[in-house]
Amino acid sequence: MSEQSAKAHPAANFIRHLIDADLAAGRHTGIRTRFPPEPNGYLHFGHAKSICLNFGLARDYGGACHLRFDDTNPEKEEQEYVDSIIDAVHWLGWEWGANLFYASNYFQQMYDCAEALIQAGLAYVDSQSAEAMRANRGTLTEAGKNSPYRDRTPAENLELFRRMKAGEFPDGAHVLRAKIDMAAPNINLRDPAIYRIRHAGHHNTGNAWCVYPMYAYAHPIEDAIERITHSICTLEFEDQRPFYDWLLDQLAELGSLQRPLPQQIEFARLNLTYVVLSKRKLIQLVEEKHVNGWDDPRLPTLVGARRRGYTPEGFRKFAEMIGVTKSDSLIDYSVFEECQRDVLNETALRRIAVLDPLKLVIDNYPEGEEEECFAPNHPQQPELGKRAVPFSRELWIERGDFVEVPPKGYFRLFPGNKVRLRYGFVVECTGCDQDAAGNVTAVHCNYFADSKSGTPGADAYKVKGNLHWISARHAYAAEVRLYDRLFKAPNPGAERDFLDDINPDSVKVIPAQLEPALKDAKPEDRFQFERHGYFVADRVDSRPGAPVFNRTVGLKDTWK
């Protein structure tokens, strides 16, 4: 991705307008964004939208984008997730250089900020029970009630908070709350909890802490510490923005943080048909073994997408195409597939595969003899050259390319008809062999020795059918997985449990016959199997000299 080409047509959107205005007004001299995953699951297609947005803005404006693990919650987070997130963001094509951060490394600063708020009378230790706190919070139409502990003095609060930190109290005994306004129309401003007691080990800080910051408190501080200019998040955080601004403004006034402060901007999350993009549901699919692990090629995780053969370029193209908006929408999965096809069509080498093999015997071709035919590696890119494919007396063709009695408009093989064996010879069908049950076991034909593609005589033959084939003696017999959508409903779970919308035929494993060159495919090599679609050598199950292939996407949308 050259910076030039990306800059040439950055699609305008409301976030770019905002940034342009900020830069023009001198509010910032450059931009700094971040992608802040919580390492408690694998990234999915929705995260890819956020990643491409944040890293894409940093690239286009010559700024920086941080990869920050938002790991302030003890217990739920694991190194396995951290590693897979790093891999996935790299795979999508983005770099963060030295800008890799862990929110848990700011625990001391967050704690110091809390003490500063307490000393300024802007936070207090509340000792109400959880139920009382909930009851006193009020509703959308009713103001909340002040806690009886709200008027503790800064000195009392500081002492209690320090004892909370020292581990003197059990979980839930006290919380630290911001002191704002229990009658605020926005419930998020009714003295939100900012610290809780949690006696739990943390993957990074171990047992150093037993008080942990709440997300709504931690996140703005993380942004400010890292000098983020534009903190971009999904719409559900819109109601949190007043607290985000209140908190940072107070802390800047107190000298705990520096201006200019980051600005939160919300955009609509990605919703896609035929998939689920919720961590909870993805975890359920994996744990209940409806799929084979996080990287199952049917899952909309980025590890799954990679195994499926989807390209990072296709994800970036998709993100660019759907853009960002302020209103929720449901994007059709076929839009994503079309972006992938566009990229694969340009980049995937062509190869020949017979997925439902039937023997074709050329009775007038000498037994034991063979010769080479030449097939282009990419029809639109002749510079990629041609490769030799062996031709011999017995070939594999697709079972669907022969019928005994042709329906109207059928131009492929049937007794008496002539077709071209693509890149090879014209043959005329003479009949077929059948087993006792009447199943066709082999098709017979004769070939025309002067009809070879690329030779002077070839053009004299006019035929309508053009079939792909593989020399049986040279073929590479391999496992091919034909993946389909994991859900059969466009909006899984809309009308019943989402598990009941699972497509029972989302994968078919078949023994296929492939052209010999495919035996050397390396894991993650992508190809177009002519007439079939795009396939990738599986990065997990392939062995040297024995790749197995996954279907990424068909040549056309067959779901419409």
At 293, list the tokens: 């692990």
Mark residues 315-354: x for contact with ligand ATP by CB under 6 A, - for none: ----------------------------------------
Contact status: 270 vs ligand ATP (CB under 6 A): yes
Which tokens is 476 given? 């590479």
Assigned token pair, 311: 């390209």
Name the nearest CA neighbour of 233 among 267, 272, 188: 267
Closest CB 78 distance from ligand ATP, rounded Å: 13
Dihedral Cα 22, 23, 26, 27, nearest 10 deg: 40
Provide, rounded to whole angstroms, the least separation between the CB of residue 103 and ligand ATP: 11
Stretch that binds ligand ATP, among 35-43, 74-82, 241-249, 351-359 (CB under 6 A): 35-43
**CB under 6 A: which stretch of 16-24, 254-262, 269-277, 386-394 binds ligand ATP?**
269-277
One residue of 120, 132, 173, 277 binding ligand ATP per CB under 6 A: 277
Query: Is residue 404 at the binding interface for ligand ATP, with CB under 6 A as the rule?
Result: no
Sign of CA dihedral 158, 164, 169, 170: positive
* x-or-dash string of contact with ligand ATP, 174-213, rule CB under 6 A: ----------------------------------------
Is residue 269 part of the annotated active site? The answer reads yes
Does 279 qualify as catalytic in the annotation? Answer: yes
507 near ligand ATP, rule: CB under 6 A: no
Beta carbon of residue 191, minimum distance to ligand ATP (angstroms, whole number): 23
Q: Shortest gap between Cβ of 47 and ligand ATP (angstroms)?
A: 5
**Looking at beta carbons, which residue is closest to ligand ATP?**
46
Stretch that binds ligand ATP, among 5-13, 47-55, 409-417, 467-475 (CB under 6 A): 47-55
Q: Which of 234, 292, 491, 503 binds ligand ATP (CB under 6 A)?
A: 234
Q: Which of 162, 196, 227, 279 binds ligand ATP (CB under 6 A)?
A: 279
Contacts of 25 (CB under 8 A, 6+ apart): none
Nearer to ligand ATP, 51 or 397 (CB): 51
* Residue 47 within binding range of ligand ATP, rule CB under 6 A: yes
Helical packing angle, 312-322 and 333-347, nearest 10° = 130
Encoded amino acid at 97, one letter: G
Structure tokens at 543: 């062995």
H or E element that contains 134? helix 130-135
CA 341 to chain centre: 16
Q: Which residue's CB is nearer to ligand ATP, number 36 or number 144?
A: 36
Q: Does 269 bind ligand ATP (CB under 6 A)?
A: yes
* Paired strand residues for 374: 388
37 interacts with ligand ATP by CB under 6 A: yes
Region of 46-54, 193-201, 296-304, 315-323 interacting with ligand ATP (CB under 6 A): 46-54
Question: Where in 80-173 does DSSP place strands (E)?
Answer: 100-102, 123-126
Residues in a beta bridge with 230: 263
Check binding of 465 to ligand ATP (CB under 6 A). no
Residue tagged active-site, from 269, 359, 422, 519: 269
Name the residue among 503, 504, 507 with its Cα closest to residue 487.
Answer: 503
391: three-class secondary structure by DSSP: strand
CA distance 480 to 498: 28
Report the residue number, 244 or 469, with the smaller CB distance to ligand ATP.
244
| 79-91 vs 45-60: helix crossing angle, rounded to 10 | 60
Whole-angstrom distance, CA of residue 40 vs CA of residue 106? 19
* Burial grade of 290 (CB within 10 A; 0-12, 13-18, 19 or more): middle
Task: State which residue, 46 or 357, has the beta carbon closest to ligand ATP.
Answer: 46
Half-sphere exposure at residue 311, Cβ-oriented, CA atoms within 13 angstroms: 23
C-alpha 493/C-alpha 227 separation (Å) is: 41
If one asks whether residue 528 binds ligand ATP (CB under 6 A), the answer comes out as no
Does residue 216 belong to the site contacting ligand ATP (CB under 6 A)? no
With respect to ligand ATP, which residue has the nearer C-beta, 164 or 233? 233
* Amino acid (1-letter code) at residue 539: R
Give residues in contact with ligand ATP (CB under 6 A).
36-38, 46-47, 49-50, 233-234, 269-270, 277, 279
Annotated active-site positions, please?
A: 38, 269, 279
